[in-house]
Amino acid sequence: DVKVTQSSRYLVKRTGEKVFLECVQDMDHENMFWYRQDPGLGLRLIYFSYDVKMKEKGDIPEGYSVSREKKERFSLILESASTNQTSMYLCASRRQVFNQPQHFGDGTRLSIL
Amino acid sequence: AQKVTQAQTEISVVEKEDVTLDCVYETRDTTYYLFWYKQPPSGELVFLIRRNSFDEQNEISGRYSWNFQKSTSSFNFTITASQVVDSAVYFCALSEANRDDKIIFGKGTRLHILP
């Protein structure tokens, strides 16, 4: 079974802090993704990565950056956290084979005070 | 442009009833894939099914079944004899063959199964 692990289930940070959300997958998947999920807005793609050291902006990249130094790990960084970044963050990975499904982690519920 | 619409925001049914979750999609591609995911209260999205645009056969997996109709651009999901454990948010999603790294999600349907 694919296992996607997000480092924290719940996280509370303060406005202006630099926040790191970590995601690790154990299936040697090439593609990894970060989404945020908000009530009424569904899932929105923040960034994704085709492979190591490669990244591409999703639909809402402003205020975020990412890092993928190793294939199994994809980090989402909030450079200077703001209250409007309070949300549920979901990481996913998939094999880069024709339309394979994405597999998701448990999510991190982040609160910015 | 591609789009996935789940018109039902929230549904409540009594346990053992059958329930159908609607999904309508838009795409210009002739080759595409459709997915359903389940998100229980624990938060993780669980992959349920993938169907490609050339396969219109209905699929059944236990109490779950899926009805794909290209003529109406719909990919509906039915739970037969619902159980409390089926309570979750269900997402329908679409990816196109020429951009299979991107998946477009509907906004989800929250399903409550009442005991």
Span A56-113, pLDDT tens digits: 999 999 999 999 999 999 999 999 999 999 999 999 999 988 778 899 999 999 999 9
Residue A43: list chain B partners with CB under 8 A: 91, 105
Does residue B96 have a pLDDT over 80? yes
The CA-based angle A15-A19-A22, given to 5 degrees, is 155
Could you tell me if A64 and A84 are in contact, meaning their C-beta atoms sit under 8 angstroms apart? no
**Given this model, what pLDDT does residue B2 score?**
86
Specify the higher pLDDT residue, B4 or B43.
B4
Average pLDDT over residues B1-22: 95
Q: Are the Cβ atoms of B101 and A98 closer than 8 angstroms?
A: no
Residue A109: list chain B partners with CB under 8 A: 43
Q: Are the Cβ atoms of A43 and B47 closer than 8 angstroms?
A: no
Does residue B87 have a pLDDT over 90? yes
> For residues B2 and B8, what is the distance between their CA atoms, to the nearest angstrom?
19
Could you tell me if B35 and B95 are in contact, meaning their C-beta atoms sit under 8 angstroms apart? yes
Surface of A (50-69) touching B: CB under 8 A: 50
**Given this model, what pLDDT does residue A41 score?**
87
Does residue A2 have a pLDDT over 80? no
> For residues B105 and A19, what is the distance between their CA atoms, to the nearest angstrom?
26
Does residue B79 have a pLDDT over 80? yes
Q: Which residue from A98, A101, A34, A102 is spatially nearest to B98, judged by alpha carbons? A: A98
Residue A51: list chain B partners with CB under 8 A: none
pLDDT band for position B36 (cuts 50, 70, 90): very high
Helix (H) or strand (E) holding A109: strand A108-112
**Given this model, what pLDDT does residue B76 score?**
97
Across chain B, what does the average pLDDT equal?
93
CB pairs under 8 A between A and B: 48
CA distance B82 to chain A (A): 24
Q: Does A3 touch chain B (CB under 8 A)?
A: no
Average pLDDT over residues B29-51: 93
Could you tell me if B66 and B58 are in contact, meaning their C-beta atoms sit under 8 angstroms apart? yes
- The CA distances from residue B114 to B8, B18, B82, B85, in Å, are 17, 12, 9, 10
pLDDT band for position B99 (cuts 50, 70, 90): confident
Q: Are the Cβ atoms of A98 and B97 closer than 8 angstroms?
A: yes
What residues form DSSP beta bridges with A66?
A76
Which residues, 6+ apart, have CB-to-CB distance to A54 below 8 Å? A68
Does residue B97 have a pLDDT over 90? no
Does residue B57 have a pLDDT over 90? no
Q: Which two tokens stand for residue B19?
A: 């329930």
